[in-house]
Amino acid sequence: MKQLKVLLLQPLATEFWLRSPVLSYNLAAGYLKAMAEKEGLLEKVEIDILDARMQRGLPGTAALVNSIVAKSYDLLGFSVYSFNSLQSLYIASEVKKRLPRIKILFGGPEIVTDAEYIMNDPVIDFGCFGEGELTFVELIKRLLSGTDDYENIKGIFYRKNEKAVITSPREPIGDLSQVPSPHLSGILPFEGEKAALIETTRGCSLKCAYCRANDRTSGVYPAERVIDEVACLLNRGVRNFFIIDSDLLDSPNFSQICKGISSRCKGDFSMFANICVEGLTPEKADMLKACNVNEIEIGLQSIHSFTRKKIHRPRFNKEKFVAGVQLLKERNIKCHAGIILGLPGESLEGFMEGLSFLDEVDINPLFHRLQIFPGSKLWNEREKYGIKNMPLPPYLITETKALSQEEIERAITLRYGEQRPFIIKGIFVQRFEPHKDVYRKKNVEVEEDAMPDSYVNKVTIDLVASHDIKHLKKNAAKISGRVGQIFTVWFRFASSDKNSHYKKTFDLIEAFIRPIVDVNPFIPIQIILESDKPAPLDFISKINGVIQSKTPFSSDTRRLIDKGCVFSLLPFETHNDAGDELPVSFYYLWTVTISNEENWEEKLNGVIEKKSGLGIILDFHHDTDFETIVKVMRFLPEHTEKTEFFFRNLAHESLFQLLNPLRRTNSYWSEIETIVSVDPNCMITPVLLPLPQVKLDLFSWQLKAQKVAHE
């Protein structure tokens, strides 16, 4: 039996998972465990890593807390960033309420003395400043010894009499070859994974005022090790590599690494890297291409030299920048350029000039709203530049001397248009019913009032007058600990002209979602309201208020994914009564049902040309023949630029993707959700489960449907 049980985790940043799951995996935890293994500690210590990539049913906050508590860990270590620090604190607090003797360790870039909300929170027993490998093994050894003599561990703070005691600083690791690779050691599993993060250096030669990475001199990994990592991961099926150096061209081993990868690593794979393009030469561009770097992010930030001087970046050299971009384009290497809104002294006009420049050189701009991180130079210069920012993560600026709040909102709108909700693929799927003419699914009896083992992603409820608030709350409590990410509740109810009807309906909806929101404050919760007529706006606002009553956790400046959203589904037959009068803030989709008898093409053209709403949810009458369904699916791609199409039936969604390659995706819906329903008697019944048989049924349906559709 091991003497110490440790869990290392990096709470999931939902928006990162949706955009690129690789950005959510815990490389830092891999380094810590690899170092513990090197020091021989794994004989006495059990170290688990909770990795977002390994969570095939992504747990909600309550489910994650429950799983941690169930294993009775002795030490809980968090990798903490601005995007997950508040979530980490919440999880640590909830775990410690149930496991009072557990020790909490925070590490990562958010751990700086300026972050007072971290330093002063008594739930945190230890905080690690800077690199953690050596600090972690020293702390583990001290915990194994059973003593509380922590003052000689460099680079930490520890809690004594509820106050943070800071020890002497630890020097950065000079020789990074002594840090074992979690990739080569197999600490981080990659079987079935397609992407990985790679480091060739640590630190950054630039000393940007907005960044916290400027307190470490650059450290370098041996070139042969980096090459070995890429080759090893290629053999394990990884095909996409994200090199996370601040500037790959700045690596002393750049040439050796590129040559080694191009000579040893063969096959179909791609690499992404960050560079300062002004330093690019034809020879270096050829090296990038030779080792399959096909996508580059350029750290432009601003084109104005007076702004760049304030943030301690080199003067902007337009000629060198354009020449470097041209070298990349000649080699078909895709370019993006980061540009920051709200830098000191830069007005809205100046920021827009930067965007115009990127348009001129035909580079995709990566828009960032300035974040004022504790520990950065700008954190201490906020008064100097008249910067106001959120006091807690994500620290987004709200105003500067040169930029008003209104201008910040205007810049975001100019770049992205009116704010619209982030519609997650699969959010409107609620069942899987293959067409009877193609595939007859076996009937499977499901035990009623039974909670499935997998995390619940969606609940459908047909609200009726007989529903009881007490029973709905009981159902919600039963489900709340099994909620997964991302979570959707789909309410169907009758419309009415009476205010009392909507008051009763709101009370029922709140009775169900409030208990779930309260214990899952860090997951997006989507609410779908379906009725035969638009519900009153104040009714929708009250529901939105319930899900918006949580602590925000997203650093996303463009979408409403951080807290969730309320969507209304309206039959298109009501469009003459409602469509033109609905406000922009009312998020709705039209529902359309197609059958054999009618002129479906005319009907679809009518709703498409309406050009209102967020999209169309397409249903087929149960008697619609398969030939008609295929014709409709082939008609839709011609109109996807005008509107988006969604399906309730997973069989229809999969058929649409099969017949339209441009729609194909490995996104959220492809991991079959767990969907349950709550009937009028408040019984919970599984509707769709991510079981092997269900996935096999879907695969069989796709094969048969594809064959029939192409006959």
174 falls within a domain: no
Q: Among residues 416, 444, 474, which one ends one of the domains? A: 416
Q: Are 159 and 207 part of one and the same domain?
A: no
Any residues with CB less than 8 A from the CB of 1 and at least 6 apart, and which? none
Q: Are 198 and 316 part of one and the same domain?
A: yes
Any residues with CB less than 8 A from the CB of 2 and at least 6 apart, and which? 44, 45, 46
How far apart (Å, rounded) are the C-alpha atoms in residues 124 and 103? 8
Cβ proximity of 378 and 386 under 8 Å: no
Q: Which CATH number does the domain housing residue 266 bear?
A: 3.80.30.20
What is the CA 290 to chain-centroid distance, rounded? 31
Q: Among residues 367, 393, 416, which one ends one of the domains? A: 416
Q: Are 668 and 574 part of one and the same domain?
A: yes
Q: Are 347 and 460 part of one and the same domain?
A: no
Q: Please give the pLDDT value at position 667.
A: 46
Q: Please give the pLDDT value at position 560.
A: 40
439 falls within a domain: no
Number of domains in the chain: 3
277: its two tokens: 């393009």
Number of H helices, E strands in the chain: 21, 26
Q: Are 628 and 522 part of one and the same domain?
A: yes
346 falls within a domain: yes
Q: Are 703 and 639 part of one and the same domain?
A: yes
496 falls within a domain: yes
Q: Are 137 and 218 part of one and the same domain?
A: no
What's the average pLDDT block by block, 10 residues per block, for the chain (711 residues)? 92 63 78 97 95 63 94 96 92 97 97 96 97 97 93 96 94 92 89 82 91 76 97 92 94 96 93 95 97 96 96 94 97 96 96 96 94 95 95 93 94 73 79 84 50 86 88 92 89 90 95 94 90 89 82 46 79 67 75 88 88 89 92 89 90 86 54 84 84 84 84 71
- Structural domain range at position 67: 4-166
Model pTM? 0.92
Position 182, amino acid? P
Q: Are 619 and 694 part of one and the same domain?
A: yes
Q: Are 43 and 149 part of one and the same domain?
A: yes
Beta bridge partners of residue 414, listed in sequence order: none
Cα within 13 Å of Cα(241), Cβ side: 28
433 falls within a domain: no
99: its two tokens: 């496991």
Sort 146 into a burial class: Cβ within 10 Å, 0-12 / 13-18 / 19+.
exposed
First to last CA, the chain: 62
175 falls within a domain: no
Any residues with CB less than 8 A from the CB of 307 and at least 6 apart, and which? 343, 344, 345, 346, 350
User: Is 443 in a helix, a strand, or coil?
Assistant: coil
Q: Are 499 and 642 part of one and the same domain?
A: yes
Q: Which CATH number does the domain housing residue 676 bear?
A: 3.20.20
685 falls within a domain: yes
Q: Among residues 166, 201, 229, which one ends one of the domains? A: 166
Q: Are 360 and 483 part of one and the same domain?
A: no
Q: Are 236 and 329 part of one and the same domain?
A: yes
Tokens 């009763």 — which residue?
Answer: 504
Q: Please give the pLDDT value at position 549.
A: 61
426 falls within a domain: no
Q: Which CATH number does the domain housing residue 83 bear?
A: 3.40.50.2300
